[in-house]
Amino acid sequence: MDKQLFRGILLVTLGACSYGILATFVKMAYLQGYTTAEVTTAQFSIGLLILGLLNLLQGKDRRAAASAAQKQGRAGAVYKLILAGSSLGLTSTFYYFSVRSIPVSIAIVLLMQSVWMGVFLEALLHREWPSPVKWIACISIWAGTLLATNVFYAWHELNLTGLAWGMLAAAAFTASMYSSGRIAQHIPALKRSFLLLCGGTIVVLLVSFPQLMVKFDYTVWRSGLLLAVFGTVLPPLLFTSGMPLTGVGIGTIIASMEIPVSVLMAHFLLHERVNGYQWLGIAIILSAVAMMNLRLKRSGAPGVLTKG
């Protein structure tokens, strides 16, 4: 295997694993008595601080190059990135609300609905009817979701509020991936990540403020540091470095491994049970993502981005 390709696969895999363990850490923070407002505020604040420091530690030459690049519509690009980043804050908030009410293994499957949502958003905005391959992939994802959420055998145990939050998280993530991937590409990746996180932090603080006024335990920073590193800092850097080496199609398939990683983490650390039908549903979803991206790669079209 080509060394550059292997390096790219390794980086994307690490990024997917980072995202995969995130929900379990959130659930563990809930078990310690922390609220969603405390968890999201700690994660985004610490993540913003770390990315800010990383930007400051960049070499003078890189900062000069970044400054020159940003002159191309500097103010407008910055504002657009911050606005696009607001959906990151909504994604985490909605996702963590869902994790509070439903198992991690179901919440991560709901988040993956962003794949078919992205297909329909692209079709709506570009006024292009989805190809047969995309339709087959979307239908496969729907079928896999019904199995993965165990809706046929334990529908009475499912929390409808948690399911609704999970779907809202998928919708917010779809908007985040579509907008952030198309705005201000001339700005360096580290700077882009910082600006996107600025928008996300603003939204998180606005949403969390009423609850933070009632309760805020400063010891949440210990959990917040883990969430910031594995959910805010490492994944964007790993994906940004690895995706160009693997290509979006192959990279997206590898990134979808976030689902089994998340499910396995929840199984071993939270003792969540996942039956055979749920694993079959997860396998169908992963196969649909692979089919869509491999076909698009052969046709020369851009792949469908999943988380990261």
Helix pair angle (114-126, 276-299), 10° resolution: 30
pLDDT in tens, 110-162: 998 988 998 888 888 888 888 888 899 899 999 999 999 888 777 777 899 99
Give the N- to C-terminal CA distance of the chain in Å, as an integer: 24
pLDDT digits (tens, 9 = 90+) for 24-80: 999 999 999 999 999 999 999 999 999 999 988 875 545 555 554 445 556 677 888
Cβ atoms of 51 and 234 closer than 8 Å:
no
207 vs 152: CA distance, rounded Å: 35
What mean pLDDT is predicted for residues 175-191?
A: 76
Per-residue pLDDT tens digits for 200-232: 999 999 999 999 999 999 999 999 999 999 998
Question: How high is the pLDDT of residue 294?
Answer: 72
- Close Cβ partners of 186 (under 8 Å, ≥ 6 residues apart): 69, 70, 72, 77
The total of other beta-carbon atoms located within 10 Å of residue 264's CB is: 16
How does the average pLDDT of the chain come out, rounded? 84
DSSP 60-98: HHHHHHHHHHTTSSHHHHHHHHHHHHHHHHHHHHHHHHH
The dihedral built from the CA positions of residue 79, 82, 85 and 90, taken in this order, carries a sign that is negative
More confident residue, 272 or 5: 272
Instruction: Over range 273-294, report the average pLDDT.
Output: 89
In this prediction, residue 89 has a pLDDT band, given cuts at 50, 70 and 90, of: very high
Residue 103, by phi and psi: left (phi above 0), alpha (psi -120 to 50) or beta? beta
Average pLDDT over residues 230-246: 84
Of 107, 121, 112, 204, residue with least CA distance to 165: 107
pLDDT band at 304; cut points 50, 70, 90: very low
Packing angle between helix 3-31 and helix 36-56, nearest 10 degrees?
140
Bin 196: left if φ > 0, else alpha if -120 < ψ < 50, else beta.
alpha
Q: Where are the domains of the chain?
A: 3-299
Cα 208 vs. chain centroid, distance in angstroms?
20
Distance of CA 27 to the CA centre of its chain: 17
CA distances from 41 to 147, 201, 209 (A): 34, 7, 9
More confident residue, 243 or 165: 165
pLDDT at residue 289, as a whole number:
87
pLDDT at 163: 94
Q: Please provide the DSSP assignment of 204-227 as one string.
A: HHHHHHHHHHH---TTHHHHHHHH
pLDDT given for residue 152 in this prediction: 75
76-97 mean pLDDT: 89
